[in-house]
Amino acid sequence: MKCDICGHDGIATKNVTRSFGKGKDLLVIEDIPVLSCPHCGESYMTADTLLELERIKLHRHSFAVKRPVEVTVFA
């Protein structure tokens, strides 16, 4: 698979956890596929992934499972 930024082969996909919003609107999404290029060091998401993230955020109440998590603030 080729990198969209530099065009080199060998891009890797890794699944990451990202959080969106804060406070009572905080939403954590796990296993988001992020493409990471070893050549230019860029990491980015595909348009499909971004669309899916928007969909998940819109429908968070039907998708999300409530889990107790520890949240800290960097002070």
Residues that bind Zn ion (CB under 5 A): 3, 5-6, 37, 39-40
Q: What one-character-per-residue DSSP string does 1-45 give?
A: -B-TTT--B--EEEEEEEEES-GGG-EEEEEEEEEE-TTT--EE-
Closest CB to Zn ion among 5 and 27?
5
* In the complex, minimum distance from the CB of residue 41 to Zn ion, in angstroms, rounded to a whole number: 7
Closest CB to Zn ion among 23 and 41?
41
* In the complex, minimum distance from the CB of residue 53 to Zn ion, in angstroms, rounded to a whole number: 22
Closest CB to Zn ion among 6 and 51?
6
Q: How many CB atoms lie within 10 A of CB 32?
A: 16
* In the complex, minimum distance from the CB of residue 20 to Zn ion, in angstroms, rounded to a whole number: 26
